[in-house]
């Protein structure tokens, strides 16, 4: 005996989720550059730069929702 074929149904495709908004402070990179401070009490600013974690998005690169 042959079995009857079942009708196949199509799967519904979902729309892709929109990308989260980029953080305005770090432009979605998650890192910013800070000026290096040197010295004991007066903290002289130098021309050197260093990478730092973005405090607004905590390094995720996504804009905060609140």
Residue 20: per-residue pLDDT: 81
State the sign of the Cα–Cα–Cα–Cα dihedral 49, 55, 56, 59. Answer: positive
Residue 1: per-residue pLDDT: 63
Q: What are the phi and psi torsion angles at 45 (to 5°)?
A: -85, 135
The answer to whether 49 and 35 are in contact (CB under 8 A) is: yes
Q: For the chain, state the CA radius of gyration.
A: 26
- Residues (pLDDT < 50) of the chain are none
Instruction: Using alpha carbons only, give the angle 44, 26, 48 rounded to the nearest 5 degrees.
Output: 25
Note the pTM of the prediction, 2 decimals: 0.50
Round to whole Å and give the CA distance between 35 and 45: 7
Residue 66: per-residue pLDDT: 67
Residue 13: per-residue pLDDT: 80
């Amino acid at each position: 005996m042959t079995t009857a074929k079942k009708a196949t149904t199509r799967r519904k495709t979902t729309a892709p989720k929109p990308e989260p908004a980029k953080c305005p402070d770090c432009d979605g990179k998650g890192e910013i550059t800070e000026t290096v401070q040197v010295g004991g009490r007066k903290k002289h600013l130098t021309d050197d730069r260093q990478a730092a974690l973005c405090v607004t998005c905590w390094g995720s690169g996504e804009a905060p929702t609140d």
